[in-house]
Amino acid sequence: MKPYIIRVSSQKGGVGKTTIAVNLAVALQLEGYNVLLVDMDTVNPSIGFHLGFEHVNIGLKELVTNKAKLVDVRVAHLPSGLHVIPGVLSEKEYILSESMIKTFYNIIINSNYHFVIVDTMPGYTTDNLNKYYDEALLVSTPELSSVANVVRLATWFDKAHLKHNLVLNRFKNKRYELHIDEIEEMYENKIVTKISEDDIVPVSIEMHIPAYLYNKKTQFSKNIKELARFYSSKLNIDVEPKKRKETFLTYILRLFGFK
């Protein structure tokens, strides 16, 4: 099965790429899909902080240089069942070459994942790399500078023939924010969804529990679910929603060594 490969992208750092990549991956996994989440921000890897995988010492670099196999570098996030290739925090920063990305693509292309979600570092890639993705999920905050930057990135992806969608993050519904209509006019397309600013996000990062798992009833989680539904409707295959392998309570007990 060929997975649907999404790169989560923006021109700016700090807009919420990693937060959205992690929570979207968890939400799709719980919908019943097999999902692989990959940290390709090889300069500032941060998926590990969100999921409690700070201590892995082998990862993407070993995989794409054929020093390790997929089964050796992926870790299972037990509360959701999601598979993850977190960044190795102790590793010196490096930039993935085209041949490394091609190797990665060849490895996952025949895997049994429905979705591969790739968290990336801010900015552009070369044209050549875009053929390895099915689409870019652009992330912006509702501020002029952020939207202007993301629109420039969208133009770049258009030239590279990479499909893209835009999601707004940290939406506060304040008068000083750009209005959705203004943003859609700049982007020349509809946005997929807007994701609320929510204190659940920093709290959940601190606790190493994705906000979507921590509390499904928050506005943030509802928005993430909407985004997951957008992607699940693209695949058009039937899956059974997965039961969470652990309850929140058993997860906390395990975290503190009681289980």
Ligand X SMILES: Nc1ncnc2c1ncn2[C@@H]1O[C@H](COP(=O)(O)OP(=O)(O)O)[C@@H](O)[C@H]1O
Residues of this chain that bind ligand X (CB under 6 A): 10, 13-19, 46, 169-170, 195, 197-198, 201-202, 205, 220
CB of 49 vs ligand X, minimal distance in Å: 8
Output the DSSP codes for 185-199: HHHTS--SEEEE--T
Does 50 participate in binding Mg ion (rule CB under 5 A)? no
Q: Which of Mg ion, ligand X, none does 29 bind, CB closer than 5 to 8 A by kind? A: none
Q: Which of ligand X, Mg ion, none does 114 bind, CB closer than 5 to 8 A by kind? A: none
Q: Among residues 73, 81, 9, 78, which one has the least CA distance to residue 41?
A: 9
Tell me the window of 11-19, 63-71, 86-94, 128-136 that interacts with Mg ion (CB under 5 A). Answer: 11-19
Does 196 participate in binding Mg ion (rule CB under 5 A)? no
Q: Which of Mg ion, ligand X, none does 125 bind, CB closer than 5 to 8 A by kind? A: none
Q: Which of ligand X, Mg ion, none does 28 bind, CB closer than 5 to 8 A by kind? A: none
Looking at the Cβ atoms of 114 and 225, the one nearer to ligand X is 225
Q: Which residues pair with 77 in a beta bridge?
A: 82
Per-residue CA distances from 159 to 78, 90, 119, 128, 200 (Å): 40, 36, 21, 11, 37
String marking each residue 12-41 x if it binds Mg ion according to CB under 5 A: -----xx-----------------------
Looking at the Cβ atoms of 44 and 97, the one nearer to ligand X is 44
Output the DSSP codes for 137-158: EEEE-SSHHHHHHHHHHHHHHH
Euclidean distance between the first and final Cα of the chain, in Å?
A: 36
Looking at the Cβ atoms of 15 and 114, the one nearer to ligand X is 15
Q: Report the alpha-carbon distance of residue 199 to residue 98 in Å, rounded.
A: 38
Beta carbons of 186 and 172 less than 8 angstroms apart: no
